[in-house]
Amino acid sequence: MADITALEKMRQYFNSRITQPYVFRKEQLKKLKTSILSHEQDLYDALHLDLKKSPEESWVTETGMVIAELNAALKNLRNWMEPERAATNLLNMPSGSRVLKEPLGVVLIIGPWNYPFQLLINPLIGAMAAGNCVILKPSEFAPATDKVMKKIIEEVFPKEYILYVQGDGATVIPQMMNNFTFDHVFFTGSTTVGKIIYKMAAERLVPVTLELGGKSPCVVEKDANVQVAARRIVMTKFSNAGQMCVAPDYLLVHESVKDKLLTAMKATIGKFFTDKPEESYNYGKIINEKQFNRITGYLSQGTIVHGGRVDKEKLFIEPTILTDVPADASVMKDEIFGPVLPVIPFNTTEEAKAVIDKHPNPLSLYIYTSSKRKENKWLEAVPAGGSCINNSSWHLTNHHLPFGGRGLSGTGCYHGKYSFETFSHKKAVMKTPTWFDPNIKYPPFKGKLKLFKWVIK
Ligand code: NAD
pLDDT digits (tens, 9 = 90+) for 336-364: 999 999 999 999 999 999 999 999 999 99
When pLDDT is averaged across residues 264-268 and rounded to a whole number, the result is 98
- The answer to whether 390 and 226 have CB atoms below 8 angstroms apart is no
Task: Determine the Cα–Cα distance for residues 234 and 50; give it in Å rounded to an integer.
Answer: 22
Ligand 1, atom 26: closest residue by C-alpha: 112
Q: How far is CA 337 from CA 20, 58, 114, 292, 457, in A?
A: 40, 18, 10, 10, 53
H-assigned helices in 82-163: 118-129, 143-154
How many angstroms separate the alpha carbon of residue 89 from the centre of ligand 1?
Answer: 45
Residues with CB under 6 A from ligand 1: 110-114, 119, 137, 139-140, 169-170, 173-174, 188-190, 193, 196, 211-213, 245, 335, 337, 363, 405, 410
How many angstroms separate the alpha carbon of residue 213 from the centre of ligand 1?
Answer: 9
Amino acid making up residue 420: F
Ligand 1, atom 39: closest residue by C-alpha: 211
Sheet strands (E) in 339-437: 340-346, 364-368, 386-389, 410-411, 424-431
Q: What is the pLDDT of residues 274-287, one digit of tens each?
A: 999 999 999 999 99
**Catalytic residue flag (residue 245):** yes
Ligand 1, atom 9: closest residue by C-alpha: 139
Query: What is the distance, to the nearest Å, from the Cα of residue 135 to the centroid of all Cα atoms in its chain?
Result: 18
How many angstroms separate the alpha carbon of residue 256 from the centre of ligand 1?
Answer: 39
Ligand 1, atom 36: closest residue by C-alpha: 189
**Taking the CA of residue 354 as centre, how many other CA atoms within 13 Å lie in the half-sphere pointing to its CB?**
9
pLDDT of 457 reads 87
Q: What is the pLDDT of residues 29-78, one digit of tens each?
A: 999 999 999 999 999 999 999 999 999 999 999 999 999 999 999 999 99
pLDDT of 233 reads 98
Of 175, 162, 170, 121, nearest to 141 by C-alpha is 170
When pLDDT is averaged across residues 111-121 and rounded to a whole number, the result is 98
- The answer to whether 5 and 180 have CB atoms below 8 angstroms apart is no
Task: Determine the Cα–Cα distance for residues 114 and 241; give it in Å rounded to an integer.
Answer: 10
DSSP state of 95: -
Q: Choosing from 160, 211, 318, 421, which is the catalytic residue?
A: 211
pLDDT over 90 at 214, yes or no: no
- The answer to whether 49 and 43 have CB atoms below 8 angstroms apart is no
pLDDT of 1 reads 59
DSSP state of 426: E
Task: Determine the Cα–Cα distance for residues 148 and 136; give it in Å rounded to an integer.
Answer: 13
Sheet strands (E) in 69-178: 84-86, 96-103, 106-110, 133-137, 162-164
pLDDT over 90 at 264, yes or no: yes
pLDDT of 3 reads 83
Question: Is the torsion defined by CA of 350, 355, 360, 364 positive or negative?
Answer: negative
Q: Choosing from 245, 318, 335, 388, which is the catalytic residue?
A: 245
**Catalytic residue flag (residue 218):** no
Q: What is the dihedral of CA 299, 300, 304, 307, to 10 degrees?
A: 30
pLDDT of 329 reads 97
Count the neighbouring beta carbons within 10 Å of the beta carbon of residue 10. Answer: 26
Q: Looking at ligand 1, which atom is closest to the CA of residue 191?
A: 32
How many angstroms separate the alpha carbon of residue 209 from the centre of ligand 1?
Answer: 13
Ligand 1, atom 16: closest residue by C-alpha: 170
The pLDDT mean for the chain works out to 97
Size (the chain), residues: 457
How many angstroms separate the alpha carbon of residue 44 from the centre of ligand 1?
Answer: 22
Q: What is the pLDDT of residues 151-193, one digit of tens each?
A: 999 999 999 999 999 999 999 999 999 999 999 999 999 999 9
Q: Please enumerate in sequence order all residues whose Cβ is within 8 A of that of 177, keeping only pairs 6 or more positions apart, or say none.
A: 108, 185, 197, 200, 201, 204, 206
pLDDT over 90 at 2, yes or no: no
Render the burial of 32-52: b for 16+ CB within 10 Å, e for the rest.
bbebbeebeebbbbbbbebbb
Three-state secondary-structure class, residue 100: strand
- The answer to whether 418 and 402 have CB atoms below 8 angstroms apart is yes
With a pLDDT cut of 90, the percent of the chain lying above it is: 98
